[in-house]
Chain A
């Protein structure tokens, strides 16, 4: 559905995206993860025709997206920065969305307004941060766009509202399948929504895989160092913590049954690394990206 080839974007001398290559399939929910400044928002803004690319290709259904009305109409982006116009009544934003999105579902919008308890007569800039986010979520959900992008959809929302949104999203996705990209920092909360995860690091795609496959490679090994090291030699180490005599080592690599049983025999506890921690270890220093024991 989306094909991105050698995508570069620079702001002045700062190169934000450094050769992104991605293929996204139709009717899947993708999680886009990355540290601040790794280019998530820039990538989403280029995909949705909000900003120009420096070079490369972004295609939707085989056609270039930039300034292509035929494809841009299939995209809805909900940005954490709002709509670029703050002095506007919420009902006017919905009115504009109703007129501009071909698949807009007015009935569903009304239902969501009630569900989120939103006052549409207020001006957007008079709403709390959480309520501003709700306006974006309603636009994103009711747009029924074939590609719906949520950039930080949980800003300012309390836990109850966030879970309400996740449930509504899943429910709506089942009834109206489409491609959804969610960029968020609250990874564990939404990990169950994602079918695939894309991790950006330093302006490049570091990992793109199914959540299950990523989680399958992330292990915490808890035990004595001398019992762990022989088994994980040449494995990708992403984390290390010492507790007196024992040590916790995080690896991002394959562990076969033989290796697992060797570790267990040596009283090494094996557990899975949650997605959020895995993301942190994979992208933070000093183990940024992992290293191996020589």
Chain B
């Protein structure tokens, strides 16, 4: 087996362990949410809702986005040093990260898509009205393949962005946060002065914007990873 295949196998092994724990907890929360909605219908609404329509599984997306942040940071703060210290090249490591990001994004999108497709039947059976219009897709009118594809793209964009953030943070440490703070102040200033109005035009071509963003994030992460050394504790 080549060293590329070995690091992919190792990374996927780690990712699926994390996913198993994550989905285990999330499914438990979803089940508790359903039970809560049935028993405390008049007092509380679990999950997300629009007027009388509710979706518990839809609320998973917040947890999924947080999971991706933790997952990307773990890749750089835990797996990267171990892999480099155990004779994996930075290039091979990064290629495995991208492949893993694709697989994990798809896997998460698939599970979430299936749950979203099943959910309306469960909520209707419990006597409530399911929320099915999620702005970028509709679980009533769109096919499972379309829903999974849309979510996969959204997750992959997200995970590419956070991979870049984690790579930058690992390489530059506290200096990264100083730069982010400075950029944030600059951003607020430019927003108030109207300098950023051109963003409206860019956002109107959303797919193009996110496509370019994803490619840019991955290319930048690749070059940062190639130029990053493992950090060791001092003393």
* Chain A nearest CB, measured from B233 CB (Å): 6
A79-112 interface with B by 8 A CB criterion? 79, 81-88, 93, 96-97, 99-102
Residues of B within 8 A of A87 (CB): 78
Once bound together, how far apart are the Cα atoms of A83 and B88, in whole Å? Answer: 13
Q: Is B47 an interface residue (CB 8 A)?
A: no
Knowing A67-B91, A81-B233, the reply to whether A73 touches B3 (Cβ < 8 A) is: yes
Chain A: interface size category: 20 to 34
CB contact between B92 and one of A69, A79, A82, A145 (< 8 Å): that residue: A69
Residues of B within 8 A of A100 (CB): 3, 6-7, 10, 83, 86-88
CB contact between B229 and one of A50, A77, A145 (< 8 Å): that residue: A50
Residues of A within 8 A of B229 (CB): 50-52
Are the C-beta atoms of B82 and A79 separated by less than 8 Å? Answer: no
Q: Is A76 an interface residue (CB 8 A)?
A: yes
Q: 1/0 per position for A227-242, CB-CB distance to B under 8 A?
A: 0000000000000000
Are the C-beta atoms of A101 and B232 separated by less than 8 Å? Answer: no
Residues of B within 8 A of A101 (CB): 86-87
Are the C-beta atoms of B90 and A67 separated by less than 8 Å? Answer: yes
Q: 1/0 per position for A46-72, CB-CB distance to B under 8 A?
A: 001111100000000000000111101
Knowing A67-B226, A96-B10, A102-B1, the reply to whether A86 touches B89 (Cβ < 8 A) is: no
Are the C-beta atoms of B81 and A72 separated by less than 8 Å? Answer: no
Are the C-beta atoms of B82 and A93 separated by less than 8 Å? Answer: yes
Once bound together, how far apart are the Cα atoms of A85 and B226, in whole Å? Answer: 19
Chain B: interface size category: 20 to 34
Q: Is the interface of A mostly helix, strand, loop or mixed?
A: loop
Once bound together, how far apart are the Cα atoms of A145 and B86, in whole Å? Answer: 11
CB contact between B6 and one of A68, A86, A88, A99 (< 8 Å): that residue: A99
Closest B residue to A136 by beta carbon equals B85
Are the C-beta atoms of B87 and A96 separated by less than 8 Å? Answer: no
CB contact between A68 and one of B13, B82, B89, B227 (< 8 Å): that residue: B89
Are the C-beta atoms of B91 and A96 separated by less than 8 Å? Answer: no
Q: Is B4 an interface residue (CB 8 A)?
A: yes
Are the C-beta atoms of B86 and A84 separated by less than 8 Å? Answer: no
Closest B residue to A82 by beta carbon equals B232
Are the C-beta atoms of B81 and A84 separated by less than 8 Å? Answer: yes
Q: Is A43 an interface residue (CB 8 A)?
A: no
Once bound together, how far apart are the Cα atoms of A68 and B78, in whole Å? Answer: 22
Q: Is A199 an interface residue (CB 8 A)?
A: no
* Chain A nearest CB, measured from B211 CB (Å): 28
Q: Is B205 an interface residue (CB 8 A)?
A: no
Are the C-beta atoms of B231 and A84 separated by less than 8 Å? Answer: yes
Once bound together, how far apart are the Cα atoms of A88 and B6, in whole Å? Answer: 20
Q: Is B9 an interface residue (CB 8 A)?
A: yes
Once bound together, how far apart are the Cα atoms of A265 and B6, in whole Å? Answer: 68
* Chain B nearest CB, measured from A53 CB (Å): 12
CB contact between A69 and one of B10, B85, B89 (< 8 Å): that residue: B89
20 contacting pairs across A/B (C-beta < 8 A) = A50-B230, A67-B226, A68-B89, A69-B3, A70-B3, A81-B232, A82-B232, A83-B82, A83-B85, A85-B78, A86-B233, A96-B10, A96-B83, A97-B86, A100-B7, A100-B83, A100-B86, A100-B88, A102-B6, A145-B87
Q: Which 8 A-B pairs have the closest CB atoms?
A: A84-B81, A81-B232, A84-B230, A99-B10, A73-B3, A100-B86, A69-B3, A85-B81
Chain B residues within CB distance 8 Å of chain A: 1-4, 6-7, 9-10, 13, 77-78, 81-92, 226-227, 229-233
